[in-house]
Amino acid sequence: MPELPEVETVRRGLEPVMTGRQILTAQVNRPDLRWPFPPNMAGRLTGARVQALRRRSKYILADLSTGETLLIHLGMSGRMLISGAQAGNFHYEHPAPAKHDHVVLDMEGGARITFNDARRFGAMDLIDSATAEAHPLLQVIGPEPLGNSFDGPYLASRLEGKRSPVKTALLDQGIVAGLGNIYVCEVLFRAGIAPDRLAGALTRAETTGLVPLIREVLSDAIEAGGSSLKDYRQADGELGYFQHSFRVYGREGQACVTPGCRGTISRITQGGRSSFFCPICQK
């Protein structure tokens, strides 16, 4: 599933062709994805102008001139693809309609935004912009890890006394927004903390030290366009490249990248997910 860097990369790709532009026509090709689409979604989108395009955790939010916000979740395989737009020296022509093109937005200026989702685990909803943060999917989410409200004292207070592994705690969207399996593995490696350490047993220095490393890993991944594993593509259809910088994720049995370390990367299963780590560097 796309994590924060992938969703932010997609948002940044969509912004130039959506923000400030009117949705000239909206086409909805099925009644639902993971959940049913809202009633008359095509009619409610057609004619609306996108006033802002923002991200909350793993959701893209398009604030519309109609007072509604289009909420988008990419799910496991969802893609927001741009065609008919100029990107540098390249012009992306409209492709032929594909089997899993579920929602198509033709924008003022000639761009077409296509939501393609083969597995149909994605979602779209239209919600009241004034109360968007109270939406059931958003109201339980913790602070953004790249925002000012996420800092050392906050994280220390949330992890204090926790009996769950630190890996599990950092995946809790109620503690911090947008972190997923890949990036928590990478953060814990840089921090030298084993994924099965109890969150509440971390020292204050270890806990506060996680904050800059979380920001560092996420920023590096966004700069690289996210990580392309299986289905993920950027909005222009290109792959992300952060997977080439993985230090532990997916590297079971390979040598640790830390200079002088003789360890090999191990994998354990936590909560049904694979955790990759160096048993020598991470304690």
Active site residues: 2-3, 58, 273
Angle CA 170–260–201, to nearest 5: 30
State the Cα–Cα distance between residues 68 and 62, nearest whole angstrom. Answer: 9
State the Cα–Cα distance between residues 125 and 183, nearest whole angstrom. Answer: 27
CB 54 within 8 Å of CB 12 = no
Angle between the 204-223 and 152-159 helix axes, to the nearest 10 degrees?
Answer: 120
For the range 101-104, what are the long-range contacts, defined as Cβ-Cβ under 8 Å and sequence gap of 24 or more? 101/29, 102/28, 102/29, 102/30, 102/33, 103/26, 103/27, 103/28, 103/29, 103/41, 104/26, 104/27, 104/29
